[in-house]
Amino acid sequence: MFTRRVTTSRVAPALALLIGSAVTAAAVVPAASATTAPAAHAAKAGGSDIALKAGAYGTRLAGGQVPAGSGMTAFSVIGCSVVPGVSHHNEVAEADLPSAGTASGVTTRVWAAKKKGALHSYARSTTAEVVLADSPLGKLSIRAVTSLSHAWHDAQGFHAKTTSSVGKIVFTPPVGDPQVLDIPTPGQPVEVPGLAKISVGESHDRENSNGASAWGVALRVKVIASGTDLFVSRSKAQALSGVKHGRFGGYSAGTEAEILGGVLVSGRNPVSLMPCQGTNGKVLGRDDADVDLGGGLHAEAVSSKEWAKRYAHRSKAWERGSIAGLDLGGGQLVVDAVVGKATVIRKAGGGLVRSTAGTKIGSITANGEPQELPLDQTLEIPGVAKLDPKVVSKIPGGLKVVALRITLLDGSGAVIDLGVAKTSIRH
């Protein structure tokens, strides 16, 4: 690939800001209800191919004074499996919870199984103890928090069930003996004045002719001092019908960034994740309006879209990540109309077609000077950044496309991707 160099200045500080700005925390639904029993109705499957999905984590922080990167502990996932016997687990002995306290003995397990002809998906999360940070008001310990989600398909149809439990809640005041508090119930939270409010987590079990989904969060803890919400022991399991000619997979995002080496910081903004059963011919996605990221960095119309459909003799899918414009350093470097698109077609006989059609970069301007950047060339700004257009990677069953990759040359190893699309259709 041919490389051109162009001289400019004052771009690096603005570029560096994108690293932190690209970190996106997935939203957690606020808690509302208790353990849900299995519904009496179970509909028959709409197809003979069943996909099993599952995910679990121990704790997650949201809102308040939570710093960027405060994500899930002990996360485990089965993205999409049509073969029973898959099992994953994760363990964290102890983890700091910024603005909250600590969690210890966090374990998660997700697995798919076949029993007496039925296909099952399970997700389990167990948190041995959460201790809110010591304060003049005392210490709060929440012990043995578990959530189990189960979705399955048998001769009668689809079923879903979620259960959760809490072992003990202990409050130790500054003076006096520890106090064992009541376990919260639906609509009846337990509150330690000035310290925390503990509520029963939310859970939902849903079934229809196309699948079953079970998910739940055992507890939601509002840390009063910081305004932070702490979600404890979340699990989700799904069983879905209609997986023919392989499983769909992939994602798209307008931006994605990471620091290679040292501490890893990554984010996809906004991200769309391809359902393994596809989208039934509907365009799904997410959009972010114009965003002022501060420090002279402005992103316009960041978007991710996806589409997938199964036909009688083939399956087709595409992912599309785009950004209308990116302004770094108040006009020092301006990138317009960046689109990355990855399309895959899988035929019933096994043939696979990959395409990057639709990938493009509108224009690049450095210090007010337009820069030519054909999709087979690299533009380098000495000591600041290297711009690589149309970075394509072949993956099993598909491909990944990055419309424009920005690599900082300041020694940080930071990589910023614009217009990201990854699509696959697996056997």
Quote the pLDDT of residue 33: 32
pLDDT at 243 over 90: no
pLDDT at 2 over 80: no
| Residue of 194 and 236 predicted with greater confidence | 236
In order, the DSSP letters of 72-131 are -SS-EEEEEESSTT-EEEEEEEEEEETTTEEEEEEEEEEEEEEETTEEEEEEEEEEEEEE
Predicted confidence band at 299 (pLDDT cuts at 50, 70, 90)? low
- Cβ-Cβ contacts under 8 Å for 414 (sequence gap 6 or more): 15, 16, 19, 257, 258, 259, 260, 407, 408
pLDDT digits (tens, 9 = 90+) for 40-70: 344 343 334 788 999 999 998 887 665 544 5
Q: What average pLDDT does this structure show over 283-304?
A: 70
Percent pLDDT > 90 in the chain is 44
Q: What is the residue-averaged pLDDT of the chain?
A: 81
| Residue of 236 and 253 predicted with greater confidence | 236
pLDDT at 290 over 90: no
Q: What average pLDDT does this structure show over 244-268?
A: 67
Percent pLDDT > 70 in the chain is 78
DSSP bridge partners of 408: 385
Cis amide linkage into residue 270, ω under 30° from 0: yes
Predicted confidence band at 131 (pLDDT cuts at 50, 70, 90)? very high
Domain locations in the chain as residue ranges: 2-21+244-426, 50-241
Task: Give the predicted TM-score (pTM) of the model.
Answer: 0.62
